[in-house]
Amino acid sequence: MQDVPLSVSRLFWHGARVHGRSQVLTFDGSELSSKTFREVAERTERLAAGLAQLGVGPGDRVGSLMWTTNEHLEAYFAVPGMGAVLHTLNLRLRPDQLAHIINDAEDQVIIAHATVLPLLAAIAEQLPTVRHYVIVDDRPAAGAGLSTTDQAVLAPLAARATIVNYEDLLAGEQPGYDWPEVDERSAAVMCYTSGTTGDPQGMVYSHRSIYLHTFGANGGGLVVERDRALVVVPMFHVMAWGLPFYGWISGADLVMPSRFLQGEPLAKMIETARVTYSAGVPTIWAQLLAYVDAHPEADLSSLRLLVSGGAPLPLSMIRGFDALGVRMIQGWGLTESSPVGAVGEPPKHADPWDITYRSKTGRVVPGIELRIVDRDGSVLPWDGKAAGEIELRGPWVIGSYYQGRNPERFHDGWFKTGDIATVDDEGFVMINDRLKDVIKSGGEWISSVDLENEIMGHPAVAEATVVGVPDARWGERPLAVVVPRPGQQPTPQELRDWLEPRVLRWWLPDQWSFVEELPKTSVGKFDKKLIREREAAGELEVIRTG
């Protein structure tokens, strides 16, 4: 048996050679432009050669401060393929956090989109390792060079590094780059957490882990060659959950939404490109559903499957898409698991539309070992009843954070996720809460996730989140923060009456706050940390019912 290294280059080669006619379609705000996989592959080879001319070598970090575009896909393959390390930069981080992760990784080159240059200009003096900025400008009528209006923004960058136009860099090279053979255990990609509880934590993914994750994430053939897959998860967030890789090797057309992730442009892309598959967080799907509800002429008939992950999926949302003929399932994972750990496709003995299974968090995918443990570390049974913290191990689960940080999250080869869940005898996971978010009231646990899902099932509620707040008698009690639907004004008593037959009586929130918008993290999750801070500072108008 041949010992062939598992590398990103081999994923690239397969898609380029076998599926050269498949397409990458990038949205610019008004229309979709198209390139074949073969054209993208040639541009990828030119990019690798151009980066080599800039002095990028094996192990060097290349940052990407980019939206979801064909250029970002080119960097996904070019940088790891040449033996360097792609560091995807989250452009929704605070400036100080962005500077922290660039310096922590010691990025030498940053490929950046012209629209986010002000982020870099604000911190340019704090980035001593960066030698080159490669600028992508895909704005309409931008021309070969950068717009003159960008010159003031570019000045702080040019004072410390060279500025190169992306298209000029590619134009100076020829396709046919000679990809090196790399060690499959060498670094390929760096990602950082979203930094909601402190400084973002870095993780390094090897070529081997990305290769294996690509096949594990698409286990069961979620995406096939006939699909058109809309890459909704930003490519700066955990490699867009792996869709650029497993879509590429499957030969599915890839639809890149750039920075246009609101309900209206998403509906337009789905209708125009005849998208069949996508994956994203519930807040994105809520926007799409709200837009379609308000514009019934919108056509989602091409969609055969939506995957939702990153946060619990309300039953009301599943039913809302069911009414449109769009089947939705859940997936689960973490940055630390690259991220896919479970996908909730119903088993063969159930109907594919069975909401009992589709409402579960997901089913453990091949390659992931999962267990749940009690507070004392005892391993609990997969009986669908015992609840404990999920621990993971597997070939694409990290064994440590970058530079050995947070060692307490690892023990005996297992990673402690912080998620509290049950697992049934078929491997279906049902997450009850995050360990940090579970509400401890009178010595008993209240699931904030279950409360949120039930509240969002009310027809007058658009979004809701629940956090624990201090209580002199019970230790903590639930505070529900609610965004009403347009034109609706639900009362606390109305929502308590809705909840009463659906949850335990002592779970009922006795504090309520109604807001126009919920704060969200850089990856679209409800920012519970910020909500707790606002409550503690007296910034929320709270109605007490108990």
Q: Give the span between the Cα atoms of 131 and 111, in whole angstroms.
A: 11
Which pLDDT score is estimated for 143? 45
CB-CB contact of 212 with 205 (8 Å): no
Which pLDDT score is estimated for 142? 46
Which pLDDT score is estimated for 198? 60
Which pLDDT score is estimated for 195? 60
Residue 4 dihedral angles phi and psi, to the nearest 5°: -95, 125
CB-CB contact of 32 with 26 (8 Å): yes
Helix H or strand E segment including 439? strand 439-441
Phi-psi region at 63: left, alpha or beta (left = phi > 0; alpha = psi -120 to 50): beta
SS (H, E, C) 486-529: CCCCCCHHHHHHHHCCCCCHHHCCCEEEECCCCCECCCCCECHH
CA angle 488, 280, 427 (to 5 degrees): 105
Which pLDDT score is estimated for 436? 82
- Rounded to 10 degrees, the C-alpha dihedral 532/535/539/540 comes to 110
Which pLDDT score is estimated for 144? 44
First to last CA, the chain: 69
What angle in degrees, to the nearest 10, is found between the helix axes of 70-81 and 37-53?
60
Q: Using alpha carbons only, how large is the chain's radius of gyration in Å?
A: 23
Which pLDDT score is estimated for 194? 73
Alpha-carbon separation of residue 467 from 235, 507, 513, 538 (angstroms): 30, 12, 11, 15
Which pLDDT score is estimated for 529? 87
CB-CB contact of 114 with 139 (8 Å): yes
Helix H or strand E segment including 468? strand 461-471
Q: Give the span between the Cα atoms of 434 and 520, in whole angstroms.
A: 16
CB-CB contact of 36 with 20 (8 Å): yes
Domains observed in the chain: 8-19+28-205 (3.40.50.12780), 210-394+410-434 (3.40.50.12780), 439-544 (3.30.300.30)
Q: Identify which of 159, 121, 8, 110 has the alpha carbon closest to the alpha carbon of residue 101.
A: 110
Q: Give the span between the Cα atoms of 495 and 517, in whole angstroms.
A: 18
Question: Residues with catalytic annotation?
Answer: 193, 336, 440, 445
Q: Per-residue pLDDT for the chain (546 aa), expressed as one digit of tens each?
A: 888 999 999 999 999 999 999 999 999 999 999 999 999 999 999 999 999 999 999 999 999 999 999 999 999 999 999 999 999 999 988 899 999 999 999 999 999 999 999 999 999 999 999 999 999 987 755 444 555 557 788 899 999 999 999 999 999 999 999 999 999 999 999 999 876 556 788 999 999 999 999 999 998 889 999 999 999 999 999 999 999 999 999 999 999 999 999 999 999 999 999 999 999 998 899 999 999 999 999 999 999 999 999 888 889 899 999 999 999 999 999 999 999 999 999 999 999 999 999 999 999 999 999 999 998 999 999 999 999 999 999 999 999 999 999 899 999 999 999 999 999 999 999 998 888 888 878 777 788 888 998 999 999 999 999 999 998 888 889 999 999 999 999 999 999 999 999 998 889 999 999 999 999 887 778 888 899 999 989 999 999 986
- Cβ partners under 8 Å of residue 386, min gap 6: 372, 380, 422
Q: Identify which of 305, 317, 282 has the alpha carbon closest to the alpha carbon of residue 218.
A: 305
Q: Give the span between the Cα atoms of 263 and 231, in whole angstroms.
A: 14
Which pLDDT score is estimated for 197? 52
